[in-house]
Structure 1
Amino acid sequence: MMFIGREDDLEQLQERYQARKAQMVFVYGRRRVGKTELLTRFSNGKPTVFFAAQNATKEEQLASFSRLMFEAGAPGKDYLRQYPDWESALSELARMPEPSNGARRLIVFDEFPYLVKSDPSLPSVLQNLWDHMLRNTNLMIVICGSAMSFIEKELLAEKSPLYGRATGVLKIHPLPYWDAAKFFPDYSSEDKALAYAILGGVPRYLEEFDPDVPLEDNIKRHVLRRIAPLYSEVEFLLHEELRETARYNSVIRAIALGDTSLNEIATHTMIANGTATAYLSNLMELGILEREFPVTAKMKERAKGARGLYQLNDNFFRFWYSFVFPYRSELEHGDVNSVYERRIRPALHDFAGKPFEELCREWLWRESAAGRLPLHAVRIGRWWDRSHEIDVMAIGDTGEPAIVGECKFRNVPMDMRMLGLLRDRSAYAGVGNRKHYLFSLAGFTPELGVMNDADTRLIGIDELFAD
């Protein structure tokens, strides 16, 4: 299996591993984001007990964990068939023989919420053993899970027995676009951007596409055909995580079609505002949605929820609800080529427009961190009001907007008119001393090209994907 990116995540885990004291680190993130692959890579070369929990009974979980422990040399193997309870099993960690090379032993509990589901007392048991025994050992314990709200609300929150015991908390995000592009090293910059617009930065989805075949063929084979895992991926995830999937389908579909305010979503779905809010909250906890505010919005405004818009921050969900969900009847009958030619090909670049804007904002974050911008950015996002919108706005240390940008994923070069529009919009937004950044798939007209100076910067698609 291909492993790409995650250098910073690996480095942070390694720092915890090399710390002086025993470690209890929580690693969590949405499903398919690559947590298990990350921990597998991290555990390479380390004396490790890697327990991948299943949705099973307490006795079945203990039997599986006992086998792993006994294979690793736990003393209980000499007098037990399996541990009778989790207190016995976890206390045995303190009696494990020291590795011959003196390295710290690594204990990974993958999908820890399954263990708690089968035995709700487990967090209290672990807390008691940590306080009285395990924190004085040469262990690094990693607790991993995909149920993000469970990790945050039930294990890390103040009411949890494990509150305050974590020596590290690492939330795993989808890969940035430049790492996602490494799955397709021979694609053109345009096709890399389109692949990212379709799949996002979720490694499990990126691995489904074959880098040696054209993007169009990948879409047909690996998304539109009924046998393809991605064809049923969205429904599988929703059924696994949620009830009332028909209602959630309606909510996500409305947002994919452009209804992004609470009132618009409630009207489109014919669901009461209060009920819709609960559905939206659940989808945000799963990492499928986010609530977006103008980048200049103050904390008070964000807390009240004023002006916030709901956006699908999972590119694949957005693609699936745009091009698979509406045409299931044709696809179920194998009409793949027709759906692609009539529905997807004509709309694909327009569809990629919003992901391209996010890609440009990610590029600005990277450039800022590398010191290649005329400011150090503290906030980068989108700005809008009732009549105007700016695709990219970066705010510096002073708190004032310093970069404004326009993004176009079209096969027509940007011209002077676009620069004029951007200047007018930034003036309307009250942005003072500003730099204008234009991002374009098809480049720039010669007239605009000569404007590439200290106050106006032109960024083509190849520069976005340059190493």
Structure 2
Amino acid sequence: MIILHFINRLKERRFLEKRLNSNKSELIILYGRRRVGKTFLLEHSLKQGLFFSCDLSKPQYLMNTFFNQLKPLLDLPMDLKISTWDEFFSLLKTTILKQKIRSVVFDEFQYIPQRDESFLSIFQRWWDKEFKKMNVFFVLCGSYVGMIERMALSQNSPLYGRRTGQYRLMPMDFFDSSLFLSKMDIISKINSYAVLGGIPIYLLEFSEYSNFKDALLEKIFSPGEFLLEEGRFLTLEEFRKDPSTYFTILNVISSGRTKPVEISTLSGVEHKNIGTYLSKLLDLQFIRKEFPFSMKKPKNVPLYFIEDDYLRFYFKYIFKNIDKIYRGMGEMVAEEVLKSFSTYVSFTFEKIAKQYLIEKINPDSIGRWWDKGEEIDLVAVKDRKLIVGECKWTNKPVDNSTFLKLKRKSSKLLEYLDYDFEEIEYYLFSKSGFKNIEKSHDVHLVDLEEISKVQRHHVK
């Protein structure tokens, strides 16, 4: 297994280190999807300080759990108890001053206000009166993205205006994820990314393999493996009150039903309530809401897709086969999966192509477009230039007919966008190269070799 302190995350580490060395008090909100590596980043960037792990325990139990960390530093008896957050913050202040502590982290802090609505107001008072004057670095870290934004970043939050910075930690893109998969060829890396996404702890599971099929069989389609049950545990962890409904909705979306009315009908959730469920899934970054690319506010009904690559794979292939896997039929399941896997990976290839364009041209906006049966895989705008792209994950080289079809669809896109672009460029992405088509100043041909040239380097 790769033994590294980090694989990249250079921007995130620089952000934290800069704020840590600012010589003033800082209140940082760090948030992002569960398993994305927030805790690992903090533990290895802030090696000296206090680290409080929050959960859904009752407030008095939790504050005393935190207090247990302070007792040895204050030479207090271990059987001493507290009963209010004011007592805890008073003792925290004393500890910071006595031990000259620079950093304090509350990990998964959103759990505390869920159980105690007064917590944020109490913390805000202590921040205003004490902590912001003490040259201390506070991090409030959480995984429930929408809830964090409401609790800490919205104008209605007691913390609004107090934070000195915020950072949303995203899953790694394909190019960073590839650093975990250094033994694999480019096709195996893309296949693995289609299964694992950019989640470091998942990528580590495949890091010792050179063959994608072996990794798939041994690390997913084998009883007892972490990634076999991760989808179920992840969903149960987030939806303790109603896991079956969320399971069903994710299952429906994974089957290709992407319109709210379809999701409502097939999941059995009333149409008037489906928005609440979808909103929570969006908060957790399990799904994404997508409109056709537009230069104006979109009028279309949005489509919903599973955003998390591992969950997409889990509900597409693992969930319905889990009994077979436990009966020792994992190899047979893997063979069946691989028969249709190329079609599945084509969506991931579009995602990688999008990341390639972001890396190469850093567009002002980027997305996908569809209208009246027409669809373009990639649409981007850079200044007054329109960029359109087509992605082909097939065993046949892309030829001139694909380019001509893209040009035809682009003329309809131009009518739809109703905007005066100065120029248009075309990008063709192909798994199997190109035939009878030439690149030019406005036609870009991107094969797997070209994608491989986007290099990132290990950062320890």
Matched, 1:430 2:414: yes
Q: Does 1:465 align with 2:458?
A: no
Q: Does residue 128 of structure 2 align to residue 131 of structure 1?
A: yes
TM-score normalised according to structure 1 size: 0.89
Give the residue type in structure 1 aligned to 2:26. Q
Paired residues for 1:152-301 under 5 Å: 152-242=149-239, 243-296=241-294, 298-299=296-297, 301=298
1:380 and 2:377 matched = no
| Residues 35-434 of structure 1 mapped to structure 2, 5 A cutoff | 35-44=38-47, 47-71=48-72, 73-74=73-74, 77=76, 81=80, 83-96=82-95, 105-242=102-239, 243-296=241-294, 298-299=296-297, 301=298, 306-342=300-336, 344-369=337-362, 377-398=363-384, 402-430=386-414, 433-434=423-424
Counterpart amino acid of 1:436? Answer: Y
For normalisation by structure 2, the TM-score amounts to 0.90
Shift of 1:179: 0.8
Q: What is the total number of aligned residue pairs between the two structures?
A: 444
Residue by residue over 1:114-155, the C-alpha shift from the partner in whole angstroms, topping out at 9 and shown as x without a partner, is: 333454322122111111111111100101112223322233
How many Å apart are 1:158 and its aligned residue? 2.8
SS in 2 for 1:324: helix
Q: Which amino acid aligns with 1:335?
A: M
Measured in 2, the distance between the counterparts of 1:438 and 1:314 equals 25
- Three-state SS of the structure 2 residue aligned to 1:434 is strand
Letter in 1 for 2:185: S
Bigger mean CA deviation after superposition, 410-419 or 112-121: 112-121
Would you say 1:19 and 2:22 are equivalent positions?
A: yes
CA contact (8 A) 1:99 1:105 kept: no
Deviation at 1:85, TM superposition (A): 3.1
Give distance in 1, aligned partners of 2:84 and 2:9.
36
CA–CA separation in structure 2 for the residues paired with 1:53 and 1:276: 30
Query: CA contact under 8 A between 1:26 and 1:169: conserved in structure 2?
Result: yes
Greater relative CO (CA pairs within 8 A, separation 6+): 2
Q: 1:248 to 1:33 in 2, by over 3 A?
A: same
Amino acid at match of 1:459: V
Q: Would you say the 8 A contact 1:5–1:175 is kept in 2?
A: no
* CA pair 269-89 structure 1, distance change in 2 beyond 3 A: closer
User: Residue 198 of structure 2 aligns to which amino acid in structure 1?
Assistant: G
Q: 1:393 to 1:68 in 2, by over 3 A?
A: same
Kindly state the Cα deviation for residue 19 of structure 1 after the two structures are TM-superposed: 2.5
Asked if 2 retains the 8 angstrom alpha-carbon contact of 1:23 and 1:167, the reply is yes
Q: Secondary structure at the match of 1:190?
A: helix
User: C-alpha deviations, 1:206-246, integer Å up to 9, x for none?
Assistant: 12224335211211122222311211111112212123333
Q: 1:272 to 1:139 in 2, by over 3 A?
A: same
Give the conservation status (yes or no) of the 8 Å contact 1:294–1:382. Answer: yes
Q: 2: distance between equivalents of 1:239 and 1:80?
A: 35
Structure 1 CA distance for aligned equivalents of residues 152 and 321 of structure 2: 41
Structure 2: give runs of 5+ residues left out of the alignment.
416-420, 456-460
**Deviation at 1:425?**
1.1
Residues 97 and 419 of structure 1: CA distance in aligned 2, closer, same or farther (over 3 Å):
closer
Distance in structure 2 (CA, Å) of the matches to 1:317 and 1:53: 25
What are the Cα deviations for residues 300-354 of structure 1, in whole angstroms up to 9, with x where unaligned? x2xx6x2311111111111111111222332232211111112x11111110111
Q: d(CA) in 1 for partners of 2:146 and 2:413?
A: 37
Cα distance per residue 1:381-408 (max 9 Å; x no partner):
111112211111111223xx52111111
- Runs (5+) with no aligned partner, structure 1: 370-376
